[in-house]
Amino acid sequence: MAEKLFFKVPDKYDNVKAINFLKGECKLSARMITLLKREKNGILMDGKILRTIDFVYCGKIVEINLPDEEASLIEPVCGNLDIIYEDEHILAVNKPANMPVHPVKQHRTDTLANIVAYYQDENKQNFVFRAINRLDRDTSGIVIIAKNKYSANLLKNKVDKTYYAICHGKLTGEGTINEPIKLRDDSKMVRTISSDGLPSVTHYKSIAFNDKMSLIKLHLETGRTHQIRCHMASLGHPLIGDDLYGGTLEYLPRQALHCKSVSFLHPINNRLIELDSEFPEDMKNLILQQKLFDI
């Protein structure tokens, strides 16, 4: 069944062409508007077909009937889904470490997408899996999933994320790493600092430390692959458990990195959504063992 969105025309769009209202107030992309024009009753005003060349009037109700999408081809697999938030448009879950987000050649059925597909079947939902933020397989934390194209488009690059990590060495104070990142020439996976890389900015703050390691809080201005891991290694403080970037596996078998909190404006009602997740047990235990308590 098609999803319906309703928008009341405000004063500033009184007697304005529908195309301007749809792009400005409804935040519809040109591509989405084209798709809706092809749908029967795709765009209505007070129950009647609204063409993009028509005018809208203050107080009128514009109805958007989002087109149905093809069923997901991802294989449903039963698993534990730690849901933090859900409504008609968004699903937010706390992803454990050692779980890829999307199926790939080596991981076809053990991903977050597989478990979400099973959850959809059990709850009679049907939406294409669109992860707004993507975490590495061994990074734990919050993943935001949009249930339709409209929400996905509005949330793209609009989710504010806060990470916590445990890095090697004594790191004090706070700072910003503004170093471009690119794929290393001799690798299909490892990133490196390079003048011809993509702009990458990471803000960090030391929360607690001892002589061996530090608990740090991180905020990203950009979202490059392996950005935190690469940037922290460039400071000489690779993440605990991140042997790909110079860390050791002495304390943890995976990088000690967790996306702990996110915030964003809801794509439909513009309400501020703030979500938080618990530290995973492995990081929590290491924090306790090392007496990194100031969180």
136 is catalytic: yes
Question: What tokens does 165 get?
Answer: 């990590």
pTM for the full model? 0.87
Confidence at 40, pLDDT banded by 50, 70, 90: confident
The least confident of 62-71, 129-138, 227-236 is: 62-71
- Indicate if the pLDDT at residue 208 is higher than 60: yes
* Catalytic choice (136, 138, 242, 282): 136
Q: What is the mean pLDDT of residues 75-98?
A: 96
